[in-house]
A and B are shown apart, each in its own frame.
Chain A
Amino acid sequence: MNGILPEGHVLQAESGEKITVGRMFGAGGQGEVYLAQTPGGERAVKWYYPAQATDLQRRILDSLIGLGWSDDRFLWPQSVVVDPQRLSSGFGYVMALRPDRFKDLPALFRRDPSVSAVNQRTLLIAALHTVEAYQALHARGIAYRDINWGNIFFDPATGEILVCDNDNAVFESEAAAIAGTMDFMAPELVRGHPGAAPGTQTDLHSLAVLLFMLFMNHHPFQGALALKIRCLDEAAQRKLYGTRPVFVFDPDDTTNRPVPGEQDTVLATWRTMPPVLRKLFVQTFTRGLTDPAERVRESQWRIALSSVLDSVLRCSTCDKINLGEPGGPAPECWKCARPLALPQRLELLTGVGSVRGRREVRLIRDGRIYGYHLVSDPLRHDFDDVVGVVTEHPNKRGVFGLTNRSRTAWSTRRPDGTSQPVPPGRTAALRQGITIEFGGGTEGVVHI
């Protein structure tokens, strides 16, 4: 692929370091991305098209780099680079290379073999990470402004995510170089509504579109109405996403339903969604279209996604992972259509004193209890911090226990008042009414 910069061309970072341009491996609406050799090793360089290399974009970059953000969920701009030979005017920036295990969403949409490890649980985890990543930005007063399917990458095996193209994020109320991609933009921005400006509130709409696409592999406004259009040109996009957006599953407006035969995936994936998530999508894509205050906030997404993650079920017939409704009845398996059995649940009470958090975790085979389960308001969901694993008894099929993978001893308390220690590496039997004390005031009660 040939780009603006020839291979072997030498750029200069602001620090004076020489950056040697390698092959071009990507191009977007704003610029091109190249492999690059730096004194610190291999990196990526994004080089802006001349029309995009504006003073405003430069100021935004300087501001972002000045922040020194080191969150591993973001490929943050590290240093501005210029061309000392003036072969190409303008500038670019250096960022870390995306590890190969992170795949893009189009690979998921087309069921590429590279994402075959993905399942509904890892998609949930990816969604949670995505929400928390944007929440971390918004908590700092930074709006991303260009959330779309092109700048999120995910590890299909673990659900970890990587947010790229962070060069349009700005502090709330500051001018941005880009308003977003129209299919992800809040309707008031698409319409050019007076007073509407990209910010954290409009990011919430874009985030909901991204989550919908992650789960449903389809755009929430591209149903029958979109198929009547020959090309989604500017006028068509303005109508579809701005002046008359209709959610494909709007309960009161069926004009934009997915077309069977041509859009079957979204029909099938929507059926697998637990009602708690469906309600949030309906809310944000109906009332939230006209009233930004009705848009689902990150904290709401976070609670709902986390509770669904705790309600994941495994089909005993085909072994497929299914999403269960928290506290709800067992659905049919999306794959084999057999009724799923509800496994034991662990009712967790966290915290101390009068303010106690409560949540329930379905104890499926190989299920995990994580550190975040044991605190009331975890900062983020860390899936490396495993404290317990649901294991099957080696000699008694169908009998399960919770193996202590933490560094501290637990204790169990039976309904008759007797107790037993569970040191690290040992397993607590999961029987009706048993209480497991995890320490720090957190305890869990097993229910059949």
Chain B
Amino acid sequence: MTDAPDSPHWALLHAAVKGSHKKYSQDSSTARLVLGGAGALLAVADGHGSRAHHRSDLGSRWAVEAFTACALALAEDVRRRGGDEARWPAVLAAARGLPQQIVHHWWTRMALHEANSPAGGAWTSGPPPGPDPIPYGSTLVGVLVVGRLLLCWQLGDGDVVLVDETGEPSLPLYDGPELGDEADSLCQAEAWRQMRVHWQRLPVDRHTGVLVSTDGLSKSFADHAGFVSFAAGLRDRARDTGLDRIRDHLPDWLTQAASYSGDDSTLVGAFPAARYALGPQGATEPQPAAEQRHMAGPRGTEGTST
């Protein structure tokens, strides 16, 4: 099940746009095939971006890098186990332990940078203070899908949406709207404790796709139901017109979303390649946003219309 297939099992989506009022984006992301196409790895990180977190673009980049390094190692572990479901309990134990490894890698990277270039400036007297993680604060949402096993990790806000051919999209890690702007962050003490983990076995006959996004996208909708409707629309369009068309339009849609939320918006996704029309495969980079056009944006009932 997890040997490298002749053609990739997964087709990827990846787009990111800068917030409409921002000088530069603090989001980072990746969408890549793993194990020769037998699996997919998705991650988005949203640097907090305020004055207190003025290096959060770096924080979000390191978050995605740390997640990628750790999740790739886990994917290799799954492959070595041969996809044997009877051994999933051990895989899940590794998945539960991953947050501590991710945060450790992020922390090490941050501490090194702080040592060379303290965000608060060089200290002048007394013993050197410990690294200050606050300027680098970022969320992280990551997904690894290998064979039928789906694993998700989430720290702070952002969304993982599963879309299949039966019923409504599901949001396995969604626990209601955020109260205020206080999100869990990599810069808080023992952040790994706050990272939620979800796993599930993907039914093979439902062709489940996975979408991962920063909250800049979901916040651009009037309510969460609108965002879920957007995800369902994306699935329908992918099925009806193919992922290539989605890739063409996605930057526009995100640009429209960013004009509502004002926030950076990033969306990555993976769909079963055999079910959805194929486009370019392999690791992707964010597609540049097209010029903003006047169109029906994601906010509204049919959020994906152009």
Say yes or no for B105: interface residue by CB 8 A criterion.
Answer: yes
Interface pair B73/A262, CB less than 8 Å apart: no
Is the beta-carbon distance between B85 and A50 smaller than 8 angstroms?
yes
Interface pair B104/A227, CB less than 8 Å apart: yes
A30 touches B89 (CB 8 A): yes
Q: Which residues of B contact A192 (CB under 8 A)?
A: none
Are A110 and B88 neighbours in the complex by a CB distance under 8 Å? no
Are B97 and A232 neighbours in the complex by a CB distance under 8 Å? Answer: yes
Known contacts A230-B73, A263-B190, A183 near B167 by CB under 8 Å: no
* Inter-chain contact B190/A262, CB cutoff 8 Å: yes
Of the stretches B195-203, B223-231, B252-260, the one at the interface is B195-203
Knowing that A2-B162, A237-B90, A261-B130 touch, tell me 17 more A-B residue pairs with CB under 8 angstroms. Answer: A1-B170, A6-B166, A29-B91, A29-B92, A30-B88, A49-B85, A109-B193, A178-B89, A181-B89, A182-B90, A222-B100, A227-B100, A227-B101, A230-B70, A231-B77, A233-B77, A233-B80
- A-B contacts, 14 of them at CB < 8 A, read A3-B203, A27-B199, A29-B90, A51-B84, A52-B86, A110-B194, A178-B89, A181-B89, A227-B104, A230-B69, A231-B94, A232-B93, A233-B73, A234-B90
* Chain A interface, number of residues (Cβ within 8 angstroms): 38
A231 partner, pick from B73, B167, B194, beta carbons under 8 A = B73
* Contact flag A1-B200 (CB < 8 Å), given A52-B86, A231-B98, A262-B104: yes
Q: Which chain A residues (215-256) contact chain B, with CB distance < 8 Å?
A: 217, 222, 226-227, 229-234, 236-237
Query: Main SS of the interface on chain B?
Result: helix
Question: Are A230 and B101 closer than 8 Å at their CB atoms?
Answer: yes
Contact of A32 among B71, B74, B201 (CB under 8 A): B201
Residues of B within 8 A of A230 (CB): 69-70, 73, 101, 105
CB neighbours of B31 from chain A (8 A): none
**8 A Cβ contacts from B198-245 to A:** 199-201, 203, 206, 208
* A233-B76 contact in complex given A2-B162, A51-B84, A262-B104, C-beta closer than 8 Å: yes
Q: Does B81 contact A (CB under 8 A)?
A: yes
The answer to whether the Cβ of A265 comes within 8 Å of any Cβ in the partner chain is yes
Q: Which residue of A lies closest to B168 (CB)?
A: A2
Give the residue name and chain of the B residue nearest to A265 (CB).
B190
A4 within 8 Å of B (CB atoms): yes
Q: Is B164 an interface residue (CB 8 A)?
A: yes
Interfacial chain B residues near A1, Cβ < 8 Å: 162, 170, 172, 200
Interface centre among A1, A178, A230, A263 (most CB of B within 10 A): A230
Give the complex CA separation of A6 and B164 in angstroms: 13
List B contacts of A265 (CB < 8 A).
190, 193
| Per-residue contact bits, chain B 49-75, to A (CB 8 Å; 1 contact, 0 not) | 000000000000000000001110110
Q: Is the CB of B94 within 8 A of A233?
A: yes
A174: Cβ under 8 A from any B Cβ: no
Q: Any chain A CB within 8 A of the CB of B103?
A: yes
Find B92's partner among A28, A49, A51, A217 (CB 8 Å cutoff): A28
Chain B residues with CB under 8 Å of A287's CB are: none
**Do B193 and A231 touch (CB < 8 A)?**
no
Digitize B152-177: 1 where CB-to-A-CB distance is under 8 Å, 0 elsewhere.
Answer: 00000000001010110010100000
Q: Please give the distance in Å from B280's CB to the nearest CB on chain A.
A: 29
Known: A27-B201, A230-B69, A233-B76. A181 touches B190 (CB 8 A): no
> Within 8 Å of chain B (Cβ to Cβ): is A264?
yes
Closest to A241 in B: B93
Instruction: Tell whether, in the assembled complex, residue A2 and residue B170 are in contact, meaning their CB atoms are under 8 Å apart.
Output: yes
CA A35 – CA B98 in complex, angstroms? 29
Interface residues on B, range: 35 or more
Q: Does A271 contact B (CB under 8 A)?
A: no
Chain A binding site: helix, strand, loop or mixed by DSSP? Answer: loop
Q: Within the complex, which residue of A52, A109, A181, A217 is in contact with B85, where a contact is CB–CB below 8 Å?
A: A52
Contact A2 B193 (CB under 8 A): no
For A3, what are the chain B residues with a Cβ–Cβ distance below 8 Å? Answer: 200-201, 203
Inter-chain contacts of B10 with A (CB < 8 A): none
CA of A234 to CA of B89 in the docked complex: distance in angstroms?
Answer: 11
Q: How far is the CB of B22 from chain A (nearest CB, A)?
A: 31
**A234 & B81 in contact (Cβ 8 Å cutoff):** yes
Binary interface profile of B, 34-54, with partner A (CB < 8 Å = 1, else 0)? 000000000000000000000
On B, residues with C-beta under 8 Å from A are: 69-71, 73-74, 76-77, 80-81, 84-86, 88-94, 97-98, 100-101, 103-105, 107, 130, 162, 164, 166-167, 170, 172, 189-190, 193-194, 199-201, 203, 206, 208
Measured in the bound complex, the distance between the Cα atoms of B193 and A381 in whole Å is 32
CA distance A27 to B91 in the complex (A): 13
Bound complex: CA A236 to CA B70 (Å): 13
- On whether the beta carbons of A222 and B170 are closer than 8 Å, the reply is no
Inter-chain contacts of B70 with A (CB < 8 A): 230-231
By a CB distance below 8 angstroms, the chain B residues around A51 are 84-86
List A contacts of B167 (CB < 8 A): 2
Q: With CB as the reference atom, state the residue of chain B lying closest to A54.
A: B86
Contact of A4 among B81, B90, B98, B201 (CB under 8 A): B201
Chain B residues positioned under 8 Å from A232 (CB to CB): 93-94, 97-98, 101
Contact string against B for A residues 13-29, beta-carbon threshold 8 Å, 1 for contact and 0 otherwise? 00000000000000111
Known contacts A6-B166, A182-B93, A231-B74; is A264 also within 8 Å of B200 by CB?
no
Enumerate A281-318 residues with CB–CB distance to B below 8 Å: none
**Contact residue among A6, A234, A237 (Cβ-Cβ distance under 8 Å from B80):** A234
A380: interface (CB < 8 Å): no
Chain B residues contacting A263 (CB-CB under 8 Å) are 190
Complex Cα distance, B286 from A85, in Å, reads 46
Is the C-beta of A335 less than 8 angstroms from some C-beta in chain B? no
Give the CA-CA distance A261 to B110 in the complex, in Å: 13
Q: Which residues of A sit under 8 angstroms from B76, Cβ to Cβ?
A: 233
B103-A181 in contact (CB<8A): no
Say yes or no for A59: interface residue by CB 8 A criterion. Answer: no
Given contacts A2-B167, A27-B200, contact A183 B81 (CB under 8 A): no
Tell me how far the C-beta of B72 lies from the nearest C-beta in chain A, rounded to whole angstroms.
8
CB neighbours of B101 from chain A (8 A)? 226-227, 229-232
| Across the A-B interface, the 10 shortest Cβ-Cβ residue pairs | A29-B89, A231-B73, A233-B77, A51-B85, A232-B97, A29-B88, A27-B200, A232-B94, A110-B193, A227-B104
A101 within 8 A of B: no
Cα A392 to Cα B105 in complex, Å, equals 53
Contact call A262/B90, Cβ cutoff below 8 A: no
Contact A4 B203 (CB under 8 A): yes
Q: Write out the residue numbers on chain B whose beta carbons fall within 8 Å of the beta carbon of A183.
A: 93, 97
In the complex, what residues of A have CB within 8 A of residue B190's CB?
262-265
Contacts of A356 in B (CB 8 A): none
Check if A111 is an interface residue, CB within 8 A of chain B.
Answer: yes
With a CB–CB cut-off of 8 A, which chain A residues contact B100? Answer: 222, 226-227
Contact residues in B for A6 (Cβ distance below 8 Å): 166
A166 CB to nearest B CB, Å: 16
Q: How far is the CA of A2 from the CA of B165 in the complex (A)?
A: 11
